[in-house]
Amino acid sequence: MKSRDREATRQRLFHAARSLFAEYGYEHVTVRMIAAEADANVALVARYFGSKAELFAEVLAGEPSIRQVFGGDTEGLPRRLAEYAAQRMHAEPDSPILRSLERSAGHPEIQNVVRDRLRNVIIEPLARLLAESGEPAASMARARLVTSIFLGIGTLRRLVGPEQGTPADVDRLTAVFAAALKP
């Protein structure tokens, strides 16, 4: 099989998995479903991705994250975090995969994937940013605190439903994040 054919098959499997995970959630999707959707041999999922969990991790890696909020000056970080949080309170996750992640995060096969995503995409980059401008020893604790606020917003949105954030919400959240990020 030509390299291009292998890559095309790999991409079909990836896109089929992304679509199925988004529609049904991690736990309800089987490797057989992914292969059938991609019109590929089921063994190719293991060959190209290793496992369903590793395929989910690869799909998740391509999804949007909070990382863009970390750019810019550290003085403006609390306000950027507050604006992002207010936006998240109002909207469903932009990505069907992130909605799927909210439903499936506790599944034992992907707990490590979720933990690694939180560490690599949010906690550690934020801790590095905070260490540059303050006390390095406390930066990890502050990064975890901010992450827990965002996780709580996701849980609240899921349980109560999206709510319109107001300018006053942004101001209050700015104060909360400023206090949480203070060295």
Other Cβ atoms less than 10 A from the Cβ of 109: the count is 14
Per-residue pLDDT tens over the stretch 84-129: 888 777 766 666 777 777 777 788 999 898 889 889 988 998 898 8
Q: How confident is the model at residue 134 (pLDDT cuts 50, 70, 90)?
A: low
- The residue ranges of every structural domain in the chain are 3-61, 66-181
72 Rama sector, left if φ>0, alpha if ψ -120 to 50, beta otherwise: left
In this structure, the number of other CB atoms found within 10 A of the CB of residue 131 comes to 17
Please classify residue 73 by burial: count the beta carbons closer than 10 Å to its beta carbon, then call 0-12 exposed, 13-18 middle and 19+ buried: exposed
Question: What six digits make up the tokens of 54?
Answer: 């590793």
Beta carbons within 8 Å of 76's beta carbon, 6+ residues apart: none
We find that the CATH architecture of domain 3-61 is Orthogonal Bundle (1.10)
At residue 151, does pLDDT exceed 90?
no
Higher pLDDT: 181 or 20? It is 20
- pTM metric for this prediction: 0.74
Nearby residues of 81 by Cβ (< 8 Å), 6 or more positions away: 69, 146, 173, 174, 177
